[in-house]
């Protein structure tokens, strides 16, 4: 198997932790976050990893090198200008018929080999790993009729959403919908596939998952969830 790690973002939402450091290299439990993902990919049977880089690319290349110490072949694809999250895939030549794609800042014990298998069974062009996330409103929420009168009220309600985990399997044929040399994000791809009536597969997951793209989640990774992350890293290396 081959995989693509998307590591070109500036990580502006994660400031000040990303001041002078690419998001892929921010420290989680004493290690660059991308290292945990690399070990998970190795465990799943991936042999070659393409890392799409842009912002502070030289730092990522310097830290990770050619991948030998991870037991992987790492090659880099550098954007001359930002292409969002899916656009960088068009710069990578000779991708296989199916390949894993992951954001560099994702922490999860999801079985990537199983995700890959589920994708192949689905015969879809795209499989999205999904997670149920609960968000609590810190306000009283009102619903009103057309005349302005309140019809319902909830005090600090919780809403449950099915969200993308930032981990996917792509079929190479899906890239036919991605314009070359232009910004094109995951949202653009989803909307395009839906418009074209292309089926999109999902793989729901209920295990450990954390996206450290926001300061509160990053702080959680280094405090509340630090033991879980250390165990995740340890299991990935020993396996």
Residue 232: which of 112, 115, 72 has the closest Cα?
A: 112
- The pLDDT score that the predictor gives to residue 73 is 98
Dist. CA 100–CA 118, nearest whole Å: 12
Q: Is the bond preceding 37 in cis, omega lying within 30 degrees of 0?
A: no
108-118 tens-digit pLDDT: 999 999 999 99
Taking CA 127 as the corner, what is the angle to CA 124 and CA 128, rounded to the nearest 5 degrees? 155
Of 222 and 92, the one with more pLDDT:
92
Which H or E element spans position 165? strand 158-171
Specify whether domain 2-130+165-238 bears CATH 3.30.390.50: no
| Domain chopping of the chain, boundaries | 2-130+165-238
- The pLDDT score that the predictor gives to residue 14 is 85
Q: pTM for the full model? A: 0.90
- The pLDDT score that the predictor gives to residue 54 is 92
Alpha-carbon distances, residue 112 vs 101, 115, 135, 172 (angstroms): 10, 5, 26, 18
5-22 tens-digit pLDDT: 999 988 888 888 788 899
Dist. CA 89–CA 160, nearest whole Å: 31
19-60 tens-digit pLDDT: 889 999 998 988 899 999 999 999 999 999 999 999 899 999
- The pLDDT score that the predictor gives to residue 225 is 87
Dist. CA 220–CA 216, nearest whole Å: 6
């Amino acid at each position: 198997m081959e995989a693509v790690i998307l590591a070109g973002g500036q990580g502006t939402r994660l400031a000040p932790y990303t001041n002078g450091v690419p998001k892929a290299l921010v420290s989680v439990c004493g290690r660059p976050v991308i290292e945990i993902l690399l070990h998970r990919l190795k465990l799943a049977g991936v042999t070659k990893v393409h890392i799409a880089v842009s912002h502070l690319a030289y730092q990522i290349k310097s830290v990770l090198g050619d991948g030998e110490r991870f037991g992987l072949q790492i090659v880099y694809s550098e954007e001359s200008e930002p292409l969002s999250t899916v656009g960088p895939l068009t710069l990578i030549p000779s991708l296989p018929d199916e390949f894993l794609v992951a954001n560099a800042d994702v922490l999860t014990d999801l079985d990537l080999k199983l995700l890959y298998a589920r994708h192949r069974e689905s015969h879809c062009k795209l499989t999205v790993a999904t997670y149920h996330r609960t968000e609590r409103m810190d306000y009283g929420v009102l619903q009103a009729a057309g005349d302005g009168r309140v019809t319902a009220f909830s005090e600090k309600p919780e809403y449950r959403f099915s969200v993308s985990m930032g981990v996917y399997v792509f079929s190479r044929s899906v890239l036919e919908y991605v314009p070359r040399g232009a910004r094109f994000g995951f949202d653009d791809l989803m909307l395009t596939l839906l418009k074209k009536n292309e089926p999109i597969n999902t793989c729901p997951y209920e295990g450990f998952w954390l996206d450290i793209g926001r300061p509160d989640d990053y702080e959680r990774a280094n405090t509340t969830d630090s033991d879980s992350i250390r165990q995740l890293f340890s299991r990935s290396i020993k396996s």
